[in-house]
């Protein structure tokens, strides 16, 4: 089965063709990062305008690189939630028009299910690599990105088989990176630059308190950590020398990475699951990756770290997440709804405590 | 030539089929914020009514606005998908030019086509009696819009569209809002472009913050 995936939920216009179990035949991404950088974050109206401009060329390119025509495809999968409503609409409408024109079945995919599927993608035909060891179900999946930060127990790669067991109460991890980068004058997006500076800093030189330190909790909170950095800057001023800036980045990153990993591995222990998968843009963070590998070795956990192109937003993961519903014969043509919310049930509510009962 | 046209610049969403200078079928809805849900149904209904197959189409026309940003993108992205899927040319048509064409009288007077732009403004465009745009579409506050457009036209134009009442002008007989029927008839005549871009008229609401940068930044 060959599926065309389309992704426009945030600031990446992407299209990809994926065969059956996850072999990526093409993977095209038009990033809007430069467009939004001057604004210090994603501007929804600008994102929607850019998606409309690039949707058609990106889809065309994905088919050309795969060397396929529409007649050789078996279906179309498009991100329909969660994301920016206006941005999602551009992708779903484009996909809808394509489905009407070609007669191909169309399924709407939850972006987060896409991220959890990404570990199965095999990029060996498009200049990347195949997964060294594909995850085994059930697994514990951590999605950490600019818009989401949650831990899931995944029994099957579908919304019904995926359960959130802890999420962030406030900012997503990537959001915290962006806000701290803004505070420190490092521009947008914050993740890569802080990661780079942190690698040369000493995390112990500046003391920041652990966010959500309760051992039992699988919930995250990053807004307090960001406030601590803001307070540090209020007290000491913007770091005046490179070394201090690097130390501050290192201290911040160490806390984020520690929080993400300790809770993820604790979740695996609690759920008695031996496989852990990381996903989302923050999973491209080098310190997160190396510390995850070390922890997995120490604890005998089977860890899958998808390649960087599978972590950040892409359409290959959307195509793959569409395979199962398409195989079942699902078809959302004429009835595809977009939503800003994920279809995955949540246990953590933003701005609140644990939902009980 | 068989044309399929889509128009979603305002709350009126419509689909029309056009062949050899004639409207063959059309369908519309006015459910708020529902173009995305309704277009498919309207399209299927039109094709069934005309007895056409999708493979018999020759080109796709779409209204480019100005109008609701999201509404426009819903219609344009859908039209882009159809054109790409069927390898057909996509022709973008100004929605106000289409609206002006709906005038049922034809005196030798310029027309001013109007839609509500919200926030106390109208989107307006002057179109010649022959149907040619005289200027690019603009956004003008209700107050003073009538005088400004009259001065631009050099004479009192015929006011087309229900938004005429918002600027205190007398509406000439024609459509209340842009419709795919006129979009189709224009799309049949206009040249196809390699890409279509909505007529937003207004920039996106986005303010660039003063972001101090660190010298360590690349």
| Mean pLDDT on A233-249 | 93
Q: Which of A35-39, A221-225, B53-57 has the lowest mean pLDDT?
A: A35-39
Distance CA A135, CA B217 (A): 37
Give which of A257, A189, A272, A246 is closest to A222, Cα–Cα: A257
CA distances from A190 to A178, A184, A210 (A): 4, 10, 20
The SS3 assignment for A154 reads: strand
Query: Is pLDDT of B215 > 60?
Result: no
How close is the nearest chain A Cα to the Cα of B39, in Å?
8
Q: Is B36 on the interface with A (CB under 8 A)?
A: yes
Q: Which of B8, B57, B84 to mutate to test the interface with A (most CBs of A within 10 A)?
A: B84
Domain A2-130+310-327 architecture: 2-Layer Sandwich (3.30)
Placement of tokens 């990053």 in the chain: A222
Distance CA A176, CA A147 (A): 10
Question: By percentage, how much of chain B surpasses pLDDT 90?
Answer: 89
Q: Which of A48, A97, A233 to mutate to test the interface with B (most CBs of B within 10 A)?
A: A97
How close is the nearest chain B Cα to the Cα of A135, in Å?
35
pLDDT reported for residue B211: 60
Q: Contacts from A132-135 at CB under 8 Å and sequence distance 24+?
A: A133/A302, A133/A304, A134/A304, A135/A275, A135/A277, A135/A302, A135/A304
Query: Is pLDDT of B70 > 90?
Result: yes
Whether residue A245 and residue B214 make contact (CB cut-off 8 A), yes or no, is yes
Q: Is B197 on the interface with A (CB under 8 A)?
A: yes
pLDDT tens by residue, A97-145:
999 999 999 999 999 999 999 999 999 999 999 988 889 999 999 999 9
Q: What value does the mean pLDDT of chain B take?
A: 94
From A86, A96, A193, residue closest to B81, measured CB to CB? A96
| Phi–psi pair at A325, nearest 5 degrees | -65, -35
Every domain of chain A and the residues it spans: 2-130+310-327, 139-305
Query: Is pLDDT of A305 > 60?
Result: yes
pLDDT tens by residue, B108-124:
999 999 999 999 999 99
* A2-130+310-327 and A139-305 agree in CATH topology: yes
pLDDT reported for residue A356: 45
Using an 8 Å CB-CB cutoff, list chain B residues near A46: 204, 206
How close is the nearest chain B Cα to the Cα of A93, in Å?
5
Using an 8 Å CB-CB cutoff, list chain B residues near A38: 208, 211
Give which of A267, A270, A260 is closest to A292, Cα–Cα: A260
Question: By percentage, how much of chain A surpasses pLDDT 90?
Answer: 88
Among B residues 76-95, those touching chain A with beta carbons less than 8 Å apart: 76-86
Query: Is pLDDT of A342 > 50?
Result: yes
Using an 8 Å CB-CB cutoff, list chain B residues near A59: 84
Nearest CA in chain B to A102: B85
pLDDT reported for residue B214: 57
H/E element, B175: none
| Mean pLDDT on A257-271 | 97
Using an 8 Å CB-CB cutoff, list chain A residues near B52: none
More confident residue, A191 or A215: A191
How close is the nearest chain A Cα to the Cα of B126, in Å?
26
Whether residue B213 and residue A184 make contact (CB cut-off 8 A), yes or no, is no
Taking each helix axis as running N to C, give the angle between helix A242-271 and helix A191-198, from 0 to 180 degrees, rounded to the nearest 10: 100
How close is the nearest chain B Cα to the Cα of A105, in Å?
13
pLDDT reported for residue A132: 83
Give ipTM to 2 decimals.
0.95
Whether residue A333 and residue B77 make contact (CB cut-off 8 A), yes or no, is no
From A60, A187, A193, residue closest to B211, measured CB to CB? A187
Whether residue A94 and residue B83 make contact (CB cut-off 8 A), yes or no, is no
Q: Which of A101, A182, A200, A331 to mutate to test the interface with B (most CBs of B within 10 A)?
A: A101
pLDDT reported for residue A61: 98
pTM reported for the whole predicted model: 0.94
Using an 8 Å CB-CB cutoff, list chain B residues near A337: 37
Using an 8 Å CB-CB cutoff, list chain B residues near A97: 77-85
| Mean pLDDT on A194-199 | 96
**Residues sharing a CB contact under 8 Å with residue A279, sequence separation 6 or more, in sequence order:** A115, A116, A118, A119, A141, A142, A143, A144, A306, A310, A311
Peptide bond before B193: cis, by omega within 30 degrees of 0? no
pLDDT tens by residue, A64-95:
999 999 999 999 999 999 999 999 999 999 99
Residue B181's Cβ-side half-sphere holds a number of Cα atoms within 13 Å equal to 17
Whether residue B78 and residue A94 make contact (CB cut-off 8 A), yes or no, is yes
Using an 8 Å CB-CB cutoff, list chain B residues near A238: 214
Distance CA B159, CA B126 (A): 10
Nearest CA in chain B to A39: B208
pLDDT tens by residue, B15-48:
999 999 999 999 999 999 999 999 999 999 999 9
Query: Is pLDDT of B217 > 60?
Result: no
Distance CA A154, CA A132 (A): 20
pLDDT reported for residue B218: 43
Neighbours of A65 (CB within 10 A): 17
Q: Is B206 on the interface with A (CB under 8 A)?
A: yes
Query: Is pLDDT of A273 > 50?
Result: yes
Cα–Cα–Cα angle for A190, A191, A196, nearest 5°? 105
Query: Is pLDDT of B6 > 70?
Result: yes
| Mean pLDDT on B81-89 | 98
From B54, B81, B213, residue closest to A185, measured CB to CB? B213
| Mean pLDDT on A176-196 | 94
Task: Say if CB A26 and CB A17 are below 8 A apart.
Answer: yes
Beta carbon pairs, A and B, within 8 Å: 132
How close is the nearest chain A Cα to the Cα of B213, in Å?
4
Whether residue B83 and residue A96 make contact (CB cut-off 8 A), yes or no, is no
Q: Which of B81, B92, B198, B203 to mutate to test the interface with A (most CBs of A within 10 A)?
A: B81
Nearest CA in chain A to B42: A334
Query: Is pLDDT of A40 > 60?
Result: yes
Q: What value does the mean pLDDT of chain A take?
A: 94
pLDDT tens by residue, B151-175:
999 999 999 999 999 999 999 999 9
Task: Say if CB A61 and CB A28 are below 8 A apart.
Answer: yes
Task: Say if CB A265 and CB A293 are below 8 A apart.
Answer: no
Whether residue B70 and residue A86 make contact (CB cut-off 8 A), yes or no, is yes
Order of all β-strands in the sheet with A302-304: A162-167, A149-154, A139-144, A275-279, A302-304
| Mean pLDDT on A309-333 | 96
Using an 8 Å CB-CB cutoff, list chain B residues near A53: 195, 197
Looking at CATH, the fold of the domain delimited by A139-305 is given as: Nucleotidyltransferase; domain 5 (3.30.420)
Nearest CA in chain B to A73: B85
Query: Is pLDDT of A357 > 60?
Result: no
């Amino acid at each position: 089965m060959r599926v065309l995936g389309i992704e426009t939920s945030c600031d990446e216009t992407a299209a990809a063709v994926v065969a059956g179990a996850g072999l990526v035949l093409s993977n095209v991404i038009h990033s809007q990062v430069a467009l939004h950088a001057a604004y210090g974050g994603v501007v929804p109206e600008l994102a929607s305008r850019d998606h409309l401009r690039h949707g058609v060329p990106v889809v065309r390119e994905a088919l050309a690189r795969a060397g396929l025509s529409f007649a050789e495809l078996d279906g179309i999968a498009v991100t329909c939630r969660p994301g920016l409503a206006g941005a999602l609409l551009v992708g779903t409408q484009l996909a809808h028009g394509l489905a009407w024109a070609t007669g191909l079945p169309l399924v709407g995919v939850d972006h987060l299910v896409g991220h959890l599927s990404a570990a199965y993608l095999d990029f060996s035909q498009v200049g990347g690599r195949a997964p060294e060891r594909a995850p085994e179900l059930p697994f514990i999946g951590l999605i950490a990105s600019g818009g989401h930060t949650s831990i899931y127990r995944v029994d099957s790669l579908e919304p019904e088989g995926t359960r959130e067991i802890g999420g962030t109460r406030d900012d997503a991890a990537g959001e915290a990176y962006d806000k701290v980068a803004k505070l420190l004058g490092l521009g947008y997006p914050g993740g890569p630059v802080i990661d780079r500076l942190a690698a040369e800093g000493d995390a112990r030189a500046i003391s920041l308190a652990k966010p959500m330190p309760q051992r039992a909790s699988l919930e995250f909170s990053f807004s307090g950590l960001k406030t601590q950095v803001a307070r540090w800057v209020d007290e000491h001023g913007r770091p005046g020398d490179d070394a201090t800036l690097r130390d501050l980045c290192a201290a911040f990153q160490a806390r984020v990475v520690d929080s993400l990993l300790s809770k993820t591995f604790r979740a695996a222990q609690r759920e008695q699951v031996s496989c852990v998968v990381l996903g989302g843009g923050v999973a491209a963070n080098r310190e997160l990756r190396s510390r995850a590998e070390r922890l997995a070795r120490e604890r005998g956990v089977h860890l899958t770290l998808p390649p960087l192109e599978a972590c950040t937003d892409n359409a290959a993961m959307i195509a793959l997440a569409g395979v199962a519903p398409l195989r079942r014969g699902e078809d959302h043509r004429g009835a595809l709804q977009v939503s800003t919310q994920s279809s995955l049930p949540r246990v953590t509510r933003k701005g609140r405590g644990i939902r009980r009962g | 030539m068989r044309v399929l046209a889509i128009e979603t610049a305002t709350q009126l969403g419509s689909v029309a089929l056009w062949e050899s200078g004639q409207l063959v079928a059309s369908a519309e809805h006015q459910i708020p914020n529902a173009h995305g849900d309704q277009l498919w149904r309207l399209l299927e209904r039109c094709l069934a009514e005309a007895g056409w197959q999708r493979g018999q189409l020759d080109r796709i026309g779409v209204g480019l606005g100005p109008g609701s940003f999201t509404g426009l993108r819903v219609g344009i992205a859908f039209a882009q998908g159809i054109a790409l899927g069927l390898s057909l040319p996509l022709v973008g048509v100004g929605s106000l030019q289409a609206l002006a064409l709906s005038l049922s009288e034809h005196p030798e007077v310029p027309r001013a086509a109007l839609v509500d732009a919200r926030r106390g403004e109208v989107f307006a465009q002057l179109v010649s009696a022959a149907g040619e745009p005289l200027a690019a579409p603009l956004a003008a506050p209700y107050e003073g819009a009538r005088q400004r457009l009259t001065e631009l036209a050099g004479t009192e134009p015929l006011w087309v569209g229900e938004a005429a009442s918002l600027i205190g002008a007398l509406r000439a007989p024609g459509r209340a809002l842009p419709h795919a029927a006129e979009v189709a008839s224009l799309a049949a005549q206009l040249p196809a472009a390699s890409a279509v871009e909505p007529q937003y008229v207004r920039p996106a609401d986005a303010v660039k913050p003063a972001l101090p940068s660190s010298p360590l930044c690349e």
